[in-house]
Amino acid sequence: DIVMTQTPLSLSVAIGQSASISCKSSQSLKYSDGKTYLNWVFQSPGQSPKRLIYQVSKLDSGVPDRFSGTGSETDFTLKISRVEAEDLGVYYCCQGSYSPGTFGGGTKLELK
Amino acid sequence: EVQLVETGGGLVQPGKSLKLTCATSGFTFSTAWMHWVRQSPDKRLEWIARIKDKSNNYATDYVESVKGRFTISRDDSKSSVYLQMNSLKEEDTATYYCTRGYTDYWGQGVMVTVSS
């Protein structure tokens, strides 16, 4: 199975600052169709997860452009510019390129 | 609006069975690939099962840890997907989420506790 490793485990930021989360996979996530199925999902406290970004960099509908995703092959990054209070919670990267789909351990974004 | 509502969770003894139901609305269920993902008490997420649509012969796939014990199925006439869980173990204790298309949309989740 592909192992997804996220860093850091937690991140303390002030409102208005930027935040960056790294996700590394144990093998390339580029599928045979040329696409890379790396998603980012967000879970706010007490809520179910919600997808923010798919295929590395494509924002889901309604997701603010303060969020951006970059990367390729095995190294990926989620960046949040100008963090807002509603962004606090846990972020997970996950891969759907190969079965079984696997998730990173999560990064908790907290208020400084 | 896409909605997924899971039911059927609860407290069950090790070795027993439980069946989860996910009722959906707001999208064309018959062509959607549906999944179950669970979140353990330490908040780790684990994909556990997927069922494809009719054009793909309703093909199923499972994570190794539940193969032979869990069965995913669907009823397109009811826009619902199911997870039959047999021979439950304490390590199956988790919140179970139904999702459309791996992580596109998630339900609110249902808790399953396996304990004697």
- B56 touching chain A per CB within 8 A: no
A34 and A55 Cβ atoms separated by less than 8 Å: no
pLDDT digits (tens, 9 = 90+) for A31-44: 999 999 999 999 99
pLDDT of A112 reads: 87
Across chain A, what does the average pLDDT equal? Answer: 97
The residue behind tokens 């994909």 is B47
A110 pLDDT more than 90: yes
Q: pLDDT tens, position by position, for chain B (116 residues)?
A: 999 999 999 999 999 999 999 999 999 999 999 999 999 999 999 999 999 999 999 999 999 999 999 999 999 999 999 999 999 999 999 999 999 998 999 999 999 999 99
- Return the residue of B nearest to A43 by Cα: B43
Distance between CA atoms of residues A99 and A105, nearest Å? 18
Report CA A13 to chain centroid distance, whole Å: 17
- B83 touching chain A per CB within 8 A: no
- Under 8 Å CB-to-CB from B62, ≥6 apart: which residues? A100, B48, B49, B70, B72
| For range A2-15, the mean pLDDT | 97
At A64, the amino acid letter reads: P
Distances (CA, A) of B74 to B18, B20, B103, B104: 16, 11, 18, 18
B102 vs A contacts (CB less than 8 Å): 39, 94, 96, 101
Distance between CA atoms of residues B97 and B19, nearest Å? 13
Q: Do A49 and B47 touch (CB under 8 A)?
A: no
Distance between CA atoms of residues A70 and A59, nearest Å? 11
Q: Do B47 and A101 touch (CB under 8 A)?
A: yes
Mutate to test the interface with A, among B5, B103, B104, B108 (most CBs of A within 10 A): B103
Distance between CA atoms of residues A96 and A101, nearest Å? 5
Q: Do A100 and B105 touch (CB under 8 A)?
A: no
A36 and A97 Cβ atoms separated by less than 8 Å: yes
Dihedral angle at the C-alpha atoms of A82, A46, B112, B33, nearest 10 degrees? -40
Distance between CA atoms of residues A55 and B85, nearest Å? 31
Distance between CA atoms of residues A91 and B11, nearest Å? 29
Q: Extract the tokens encoding A32.
A: 């045979």
